[in-house]
Amino acid sequence: MIATSLLDDCRRLAFTVAPELEANPLYVVDAETLAGTPNPADCLGFARRGNWMDYETIDRIGDAWTGPGPLIALDGEVIRESHGENFTAAVTGTMVHELAHILPAIEARELSHRQPGDKMDCDAVRQNQAVSLSRSIAKPAAEPGSCIDPHNDQFIRRTCHVYSRAVAHGWDVSIDGLFGGSLWFACQPAHWITSLLPELHSMRTASFAEIETATPPEAFTKLWQSSLDLYRSFQDPRGDIDEQI
């Protein structure tokens, strides 16, 4: 389990780099807290934006539940197994990654209007919620660059902004695996950060909604396109060794 003090530090990190998140509750928990509910397996962490929350998860959050808001679960056991030599920095690095999934922040009004009421809570509804979550988790990974790809160029851009702000405020954040395993075809994080340096400085106090609507630097756009080209070259059947023999 991740110590409560470290989880609290992660929440403070979130509010430091993205003050707009303070408009709603933000739940940061060890994934073990949610054991027994449908959740991704063997991940360092996962996030839910908060526009929908199932009853079982609300029960697991317990007395800490104060209303709808985004959820970030960090798997302390998996993080320790893969980054045991620098556990704290790896936890905050995972937090940075997951924060990029819940930004830009959802407005409080939208959150409150999309939650199931207490009167709907029953075994049948809970079972249906569990099935829906399980199906969502079991879906195959989205095609890189597609409109439903959760690790697209905008995600990379947000992650770089979160990381840059966290480091600037003195947080110890591991850059190793910052984007996760699905971006195996992309450059190392340092290259992306370099391509965004002017923007990271000029928009260091901007909200993530403002960042999302701004045109990214050309260097960043070119880097993303070259990464997609590399990915597609691996998918090209003409590159298959068996086809060439």
Residue 2 near residue 91 (C-beta atoms within 8 A)? yes
**Given this model, what pLDDT does residue 22 score?**
95
Per-chain mean pLDDT for the chain: 86
> Is pLDDT above 80 for 97?
yes
pLDDT digits 0-9 by tens, 19-77: 999 999 999 999 999 887 766 777 899 998 876 678 888 888 989 988 889 999 999 99
**Given this model, what pLDDT does residue 35 score?**
81
> Is pLDDT above 70 for 239?
no
**Given this model, what pLDDT does residue 177 score?**
83
- pLDDT tier at 242 (50, 70, 90 boundaries)? very low
Q: Distance between CA 138 and CA 162 in Å, rounded?
A: 28
> Is pLDDT above 90 for 112?
no
pLDDT digits 0-9 by tens, 198-238: 999 999 999 999 999 999 999 999 999 999 998 888 876 55
**Given this model, what pLDDT does residue 43 score?**
86
Q: Work out the average pLDDT over 108-125.
A: 63
- Using CB atoms within 10 A of its CB, is residue 39 exposed (0-12), middle (13-18) or buried (19+)? middle
The two three-digit tokens of residue 165, written as one number:
């702000």
Give CA separation, 226 vs 47, 154, 195, 220, in Å.
28, 15, 13, 10
| Cβ neighbours for 175, distance < 8 A, ≥ 6 positions apart | 93, 163, 189, 190
Strands (E), 50-193: 71-74
What proportion of the chain, given as a percentage, has pLDDT over 90? 55
- pLDDT tier at 9 (50, 70, 90 boundaries)? very high
- pLDDT tier at 140 (50, 70, 90 boundaries)? confident
pTM: predicted TM-score of the whole model, two decimal places: 0.86
**How is the chain split into domains, by residue range?**
4-138, 153-237
- pLDDT tier at 144 (50, 70, 90 boundaries)? confident
pLDDT digits 0-9 by tens, 160-190: 999 999 999 999 999 988 998 778 888 889 9
- Output the CA torsion sign for 212, 216, 220, 226: positive
* Class of the CATH-defined domain 4-138: alpha beta
